Amino acid sequence: MTGLPGAGKSTISALLLDRLRAQGRPAYGLDGDVLRRGLNQDLGFTDADRSENIRRTAEVARLMVDAGLVVVVSFISPFRSDRQFARSRFEPGRFCEIFIDAPLTVCERRDPKGLYAKARRGELARMTGIDSPYEAPERPDLHLHTDADDVSGCVERIMQLLRV
């Protein structure tokens, strides 16, 4: 899952994981914030560090998929080239790019961590969507609009995409 901060990636991911596990599917979530506190704690927010963040995560996800897990990855992943790299690490049909989309104004209104407010005050540099670019997917496998669709409806569409 890719999208701006506050678009709903983590919320949708958590509910999706609950649904998968309730069906007996072995599933695990990789969340950008969590990995940045551990595996990727040495990375900052330069373009190169953001790319390395995605590279490492794609490799971990691939290993987990090889072990038989459904892996739900929720990262901002602002660059198309990084998302294409991640897709290239998987066999065809084993990677789905899901664009969790909400207008910047909606994401800022939600602002669950207060990051947009800090960026607007000049206290946070390189905020995706403010002073660091976000390259929206051109042809995602699924495009969800969280400003118009409710979370459970979004999860249902993902479940249909996964055919589970």
Task: Please identify every residue annotated as catalytic.
Answer: 77
State how far Cα 111 lies from the chain centre.
16
Side chain identity, residue 38: G
| CA neighbor of 30 nearest in space, from 65, 80, 66 | 65
Helix axes 9-22 and 151-162, enclosed angle (nearest 10): 60
Q: How many residues appear in the chain? A: 164
Cβ(82)–Cβ(133) under 8 Å? no
Side chain identity, residue 130: I
Neighbours of 37 (CB within 10 A): 9
